Structure 1
Amino acid sequence: MESTKGRGKLVIIGGAEDKEGDCKILREFVRAAGGTDAKIAILTAATSEPRESGEDYIRVFERLGVEEVTVLNTIHKDDGDDPKNLEILENATGAFFTGGDQARILEYIKGTKLDSLLHQRHKEGMVIGGTSAGAAMMPDLMIVEGDSETNPRMDAIEMGEGMGFIHSVVIDQHFAQRGRLGRLVSALLQQPANLGFGIDEDTAMIVDGDELTVVGRGAVTVVDESDATYNNLDELLKDEAMAVCGVKLHILPQGFRFNLKTRKPISLEISKKEAESPVLQTA
């Protein structure tokens, strides 16, 4: 997996995040983007109601103390090359993708100047967040659509090109609430990736360098098939059930971390000990 070290954080949200109470996840996005000095661009490409969605997030971010929040509208493909939109993103410290339909993000942004600038600014340190559809589009390849509450099957999912902010993984959202383990495994086995992340609602994984941290009410389910001992993909027809053996499964609630390089979880107990340990001083 390519390292994300040196880039801005990714705040990848499973959808239905709290916008009325403490706003723990959105608060962490704002903190990562610079706190009250943050300049946030809201990208509404995924939703069919961009005005309502944009106003909703403006209200939340302003309540959290951000003074400069701007909606970056991309309702036509040409909007991805609009100099005004590019200027907004050039000055932003955080870009936030709303929910909706992830295919719309690719339709209106992929391949535009805005797409190139998003990747450039992320490499320079800009934070990128996304919820629901805005989470699904994060990898190189994304789940466009698929069946929930199903066993793994060859025809359970449709995959498509993603935005490529994180590499060699598959991400699914609304995970526990919609019973999506089967479709995540279906996607994982059919793609050149062997780490899958299922993110529950009101839950996020915050990717910082080679590690991610779980924040929120639910959990992140990690499926690691890198050491799988068997699958039956070579034997299957389109609508037949998949078999896979030797897959690792991790369930990580708030405070737990996961190292993308070593593919190992880091327990809350270890995280607490690290936080409590004094910083070593060198002469």
Structure 2
Amino acid sequence: MGTESTRGPLVIIGGAEDKEGDCIVLREFVRAAGGVNAKIAVMTAATGYPVEVGETYINVFGRLGAESVEAVHTEHRDHSERESSLRIVEEATGIFFTGGDQSRIVEFIQGTTLDKVIHQRHDRGAAIGGTSAGAAMMPDQMIVGGASVSNPSVDAVSMGPGMGFLPGIVIDQHFAQRGRLGRLLAALVLQPAVIGLGIDEDTGIIVKGDEFEVVGQGAITVVDETTTTHNNLEGLLKDEPIALCGVKLHILPHGYRFNLKTHLPLL
């Protein structure tokens, strides 16, 4: 298993990122994957349109200067055992998960040989990126779905196993655009994670070790549950509102950094 110093960066994007203009967020993924020497594997497991979506990212990453870009299609679980797919990932310096449905990523990849190889490459320095569903799957416990609500309740969110690239964190995407603060708060109360990250569209974080930096047009909403003084979860029925007291909130735009260990923004 790789150490913190050898493990590659994570580039986690809130969805709807610019693919035609300056491509600020995707440009940073290519840079993290090696720049003009980047060899990128585009993982299309999340989408029901793998060929079309894969081609979109092949074109974008190629235009941004990556040395090579190949799509890895896993429309069924047994596709994650294909030698051709394993070869692409084993040679990749950057592995990028597209949007779609995060449950498909877990269903088709988790626990397979492909999953093992992806984690091995990350441990040895390869960058892992993901947008929308590809962002949601990053933690060990991910948001599978739920309602876009302002006030949290038990039934505002459904959770499931994630891919484990960023343990102990909960991530929600399309955050400000779809009003998802309530379901992120609910997820934090229901899961053992202590930090929630709400990532706006066309916005991402670059995680290196214990810190991340914000890039893009929107902001990152950091919800720190470690300061909570009270919740009413015990005895609560699933459609009843959750009370939370003492939660700490940070709003971080482009260029700001945050330490995941100390839970402090870096100005």
Which category describes the TM-score, using the shorter chain as reference length?
Answer: over 0.9
Letter in 2 for 1:79: H
Structure 2 alignment gaps of length 5 or more: none
Runs of 4+ off more than 4 Å? none
Q: Secondary structure at the match of 1:252?
A: strand
Does 1:136 pair with 2:136?
yes
Q: TM-score if structure 2 supplies the norm length?
A: 0.98
Q: Secondary structure at the match of 1:85?
A: helix
Cα pair 2:149 2:156 within 8 Å, conserved? no
Rate the CA distance shift 1:5–1:157 in 2: closer, same or farther, 3 A: farther
* Structure-1 residue corresponding to 2:250: 250
Rate the CA distance shift 1:238–1:4 in 2: closer, same or farther, 3 A: farther
Rate the CA distance shift 1:185–1:5 in 2: closer, same or farther, 3 A: farther
Q: Deviations over 1:78-129 (max 9, x none)?
A: 1111111111100000000000000010111011001011111101000000
Q: Measure the CA separation in 1 of the matches of 2:234 and 2:64.
A: 52
Q: Mapping of 1:264-283 within 5 angstroms? A: 264-267=264-267
Shift of 1:4: 4.5
* Structure-1 residue corresponding to 2:13: 13
* Structure-2 residue corresponding to 1:68: 68
Q: Measure the CA separation in 2 of the matches of 1:5 and 1:202.
A: 28
Does 1:44 pair with 2:44?
yes
Q: Measure the CA separation in 2 of the matches of 1:75 and 1:237.
A: 38
Shift of 1:235: 3.0
Q: TM-score if structure 1 supplies the norm length?
A: 0.92
Q: Mapping of 1:233-248 within 5 angstroms? A: 233-248=233-248
Q: Percent identity?
A: 65
Q: Secondary structure at the match of 1:107?
A: helix
Q: Secondary structure at the match of 2:212?
A: strand
Does 1:232 pair with 2:226?
no
Q: How many pairs were matched up? A: 265
Which deviates more, 64-73 or 48-57? 64-73
**RMSD between aligned residues:** 0.9
Cα pair 1:153 1:241 within 8 Å, conserved? yes
Letter in 2 for 1:119: H
Q: Deviations over 1:13-62 (max 9, x none)?
A: 00000101110111110011111110000000000000100010011011
Letter in 1 for 2:83: P
Cα pair 1:5 1:210 within 8 Å, conserved? no
